[in-house]
Amino acid sequence: MNHHAIAIDGPAASGKSTMARALAERLGLVMVNSGAMYRAVTWKVLEEKINPTDAAAVRELVGRIRIDCGHDGTFSTISIDGVDPTPFLRSAEVNANVSAISAIPEVREKLVALQRDYLKSTHVVMEGRDIGSVVFPETPFKIYIDADPSVRNHRRSDDGEVDSVETRDAADSSRTTAPLVIADGATVLDTSKLSIEGAIKAAIDILRAQGFPMKQSETLKITGEEPDHAPMMRWIYWLGWMSFGAAYRTLFGLRIIGRENIIHNGPVLIASNHQSFLDPPLIGNLYKTEMVFFARKTLFKGIGKWLYPKWNAIPVDQDRPDMSSMKTVIRKLKEGWRVLVFPEGARTLDGEIGQAASGIGLIAAKAGVPIQPVRIFGADEALPRGSGKIRFARITVKVGRPIVLTPEELKSYSGKTGYEALTNRIMDAIKDL
């Protein structure tokens, strides 16, 4: 069978990875991050204390190391001599040296061969600098993503990364072997003024125009598109949604990473770590339609008795294991709602993620709906447990890829050990964010 390759090229922080990830998930292809391969070799060079400008020593190293490239069904994976270097690939040292390493022809030769190997077994969306020009020049599906340098610099520093994107761009564009160019047949997409969702929509239109067989492969439409209409909410819910959202953006510079993973349609079990009382509206603000929350029973007094039900809060007894609230979650999910559950039960004491206390695995297995892992950072500093005082700390919310269980997986996650295994899988997905 002939496999399709979508080639995404462009300068640093133009949005290549974000785009490739979204296309892989929506079109059912494997996303291959070729930059990670150049970064992995750079990491190994630095690990071995080889001078990155000593091309002969780098060539010798590349000749003797074993590089294994694979994928997990959606994303590429890499290991060098049996070690997965992923956690180290975006360090300042790797950023500073990767362009020099990737200019060495023998490094490119070895990695390009591994990149082409992917097409033997799967459809891919591959992102890098020379995918449309050198790796897959024959593919008709090519996009060159760009954005103004100032926008790109902002995006990188917003990600908290030390990276001189202009220096890297200059080196990548001026090298002799496989420089960054707009490949023949590529369509240029400038994302400077586009939202992530807008950029994805534009890319899908480009691919359709290039003849990509959309229908056959548009298998994974789990996340859907963010509605571009105003939020669909009853007015008291909307009032809370709007006021909390505005307050979070102003007071805490709220930053959301992984917007493209947000599931906009259908029932969703949202599993998040729990840092502070700020958390529920924080999560509620990710979505443009209403969702269901839990609130401790004691809050349903006075005005709370009237207000909390209007915000779709269901009372929960924090002091005792509460089977009835678990049943309510499952029922709400089956009715098609999006429901937020904090698997740890209580707020963190030290900022770390604690043990899962509630039966999130049981709920997920019984409801059988997509699970959205979410991790909150900084809310414990903005409103520490026990303090009651708001501080101006930056809050970041990271939204993870949906976990969609196959019918076989659902069957295997049954009984106490099955629920525990699923709980661990969900907690690991949160911790990985």
Ligand X SMILES: Nc1ncnc2c1ncn2[C@@H]1O[C@H](COP(=O)(O)OP(=O)(O)O)[C@@H](O)[C@H]1O
* Angle between helical axes of 34-47 and 92-102 (0-180°, round to 10): 100
In the block, tokens 């030290």 appear at: 350
Select from ligand CDP, ligand X, none the partner in contact with residue 195, using the beta carbon and a kind-dependent cut-off of 5 to 8 Å: ligand X
Q: Residue 314 binds which one of ligand X, ligand CDP, none, with CB within 5 to 8 A depending on kind?
A: none
34 has binding-site annotation: no
The response to whether 85 counts as a known ligand-binding position is no
The minimum distance between CB 37 and ligand CDP, in angstroms, equals 7
Residue 203 binds which entry of ligand X, ligand CDP, none, CB below 5-8 Å type-dependent: none
Shortest spacing between CB 39 and ligand X, in angstroms: 11
Q: Which residues bind ligand X (CB under 6 A)?
A: 10, 12-18, 155, 159, 191, 194-196, 199
Work out how close the CB of 17 gets to ligand X at its nearest, in angstroms, rounded to a whole number: 3
If we measure between CA atoms, which residue out of 221, 220, 226, 165 comes closest to residue 195? Answer: 226
Contact 32, 71 (CB under 8 A): yes
- Alpha carbons 54 and 61: distance in angstroms, whole number: 11
Tokens of 416: 């106490």
| 123: partner contacted, choices ligand X, ligand CDP, none (Cβ within 5-8 A by kind) | none
Task: Please give the C-alpha separations between residue 429 and each of 79, 176, 264, 291, 293, in angstroms, as whole numbers.
Answer: 21, 41, 20, 22, 21
What the block records as the tokens of 373 is 């892992």
Report what 76 binds from ligand CDP, ligand X, none; CB cut-off 5-8 Å by kind: none
Question: Is position 110 an interface residue for ligand CDP (rule: CB under 6 A)?
Answer: no
Residue 4 binding: pick among ligand X, ligand CDP, none (C-beta 5-8 Å cut-off by kind): none
SS (H, E, C) 167-192: HHHHHHHHCCCCCCCCCCCCEEEECC
- 386 backbone φψ class: left, alpha, beta (φ>0; ψ -120 to 50): left
Angstrom distance (rounded) from CA 271 to CA 285: 15
Give me the residues paired with residue 303 across strands: none
Binding to ligand CDP by residue 168, rule CB under 6 A? yes
Task: Tell me, residue by residue from 204 to 243, as one string, x for binding to ligand CDP by CB under 6 A and - for no binding.
Answer: ----------------------------------------
Chain position whose Cβ is nearest to ligand X: 15
Rounded-to-integer distance, Cα 11 and Cα 167, Å: 11
Residue 129 interaction partner, one of ligand CDP, ligand X, none, beta carbon < 5-8 Å per kind: ligand CDP
Binding positions for ligand CDP, 183-202, rule CB under 6 A: none
Q: Among residues 127 and 344, whose Cβ is nearest to ligand X? A: 127
315 binds, among ligand X, ligand CDP, none (CB under 5 to 8 A by kind): none
Decide if 106 contacts 56 (C-beta within 8 A).
no
Cα gap 140→137, rounded to integer Å: 8
Determine if residue 132 is labeled as part of a ligand binding site: no
Instruction: Provide the token pair at 53.
Output: 């400008």
Which 36-95 residues touch ligand CDP, going by CB under 6 A? 38-39
| Residue 12: CB minimum distance to ligand CDP, A | 4
Q: How far is the CB of 62 from ligand CDP (least distance, A)?
A: 14
Contacts of 170-175 with CB under 8 Å at 24 or more apart are 171/99, 171/100, 171/103, 172/11, 172/12, 172/99, 172/102, 172/129, 173/11, 175/99, 175/102, 175/103
Least distance from ligand X to the Cβ atom of residue 399, Å: 11
Q: Which stretch binds ligand CDP (CB under 6 A): 12-20, 228-236, 354-362, 403-411?
A: 12-20
Q: Is 16 annotated as a binding residue?
A: yes
Residues β-bridged to residue 128: 9
Least distance in Å: CB of 195 to ligand X?
Answer: 5
CB of 157 vs ligand X, minimal distance in Å = 10
CA angle, 343 then 349 then 354, to 5°: 35
Binding residue for ligand CDP, selected from 18, 76, 97, 102, defined by CB under 6 A: 102
Which residues lie near ligand CDP (CB under 6 A)?
Answer: 12-13, 16-17, 34-35, 38-39, 98-99, 102, 128-131, 168, 172
Q: Which residues are annotated as a binding site for ATP?
A: 10-18
